[in-house]
Every structure is written in structure tokens, then in C-alpha cells.
């Protein structure tokens, strides 16, 4: 049997990242659904979606460079 250690839990959602940030947006009635900006949707019937907002994690956003190492 292998042992597993959970060192923390977090959220990565269209409302942002991190429990506190996402919870505050939820209780204030915010929506993570907005116009899609990360790729061209001009030829698609749907123009809205729940994208994970890019940016610095200190601002409650998702910074891929903090999590993915090449």
C-alpha cells in the first residue's frame, strides 16, 4: 500500500482561485460566466463561457507559471 499526503486544498474556478476569493465572490452574487476571450469564437454559436481568469494568484487569479514547470 502506498501512502498519500495532502498538503493543501484549493479551488481553480471561473470565479478565480483560492477558497477565500471564490467564497467572497459567491456570497456577493458574482458570476464566472462571461464573454470568451482566450480564443476566437466568431465561428461558434456560443460566445460565453466559464473561463478560469488568468493573472496573479495574489489577486485571486490563476498564474499558470506558479503551477506548471517546463
Per-domain residue ranges for the chain? 1-53
Q: Is 48 helix (H, G, I), strand (E, B) or coil?
A: strand
| pTM to 2 decimal places | 0.72
pLDDT in tens, the chain (70 residues): 888 777 777 889 999 998 899 999 999 999 999 999 999 999 999 999 999 999 998 898 999 888 887 7
pLDDT of residue 68: 80
Q: Is 47 left (phi over 0), alpha (psi -120 to 50) or beta?
A: alpha
pLDDT of residue 50: 95
Give me the residue label for grid cell 488568468. 54
Q: Cα dist. 67→18, 32, 63 in Å?
A: 13, 21, 7
Amino acid at each position: 500500500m502506498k501512502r498519500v499526503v495532502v498538503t493543501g486544498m484549493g479551488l481553480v474556478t471561473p470565479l478565480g482561485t483560492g477558497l477565500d476569493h471564490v467564497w467572497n465572490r459567491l456570497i456577493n452574487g458574482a458570476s464566472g460566466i462571461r464573454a470568451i476571450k482566450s480564443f476566437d469564437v466568431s465561428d461558434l454559436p456560443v460566445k460565453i463561457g466559464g473561463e478560469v481568469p488568468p493573472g496573479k494568484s495574489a489577486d485571486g487569479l490563476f498564474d499558470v507559471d506558479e503551477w506548471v514547470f517546463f
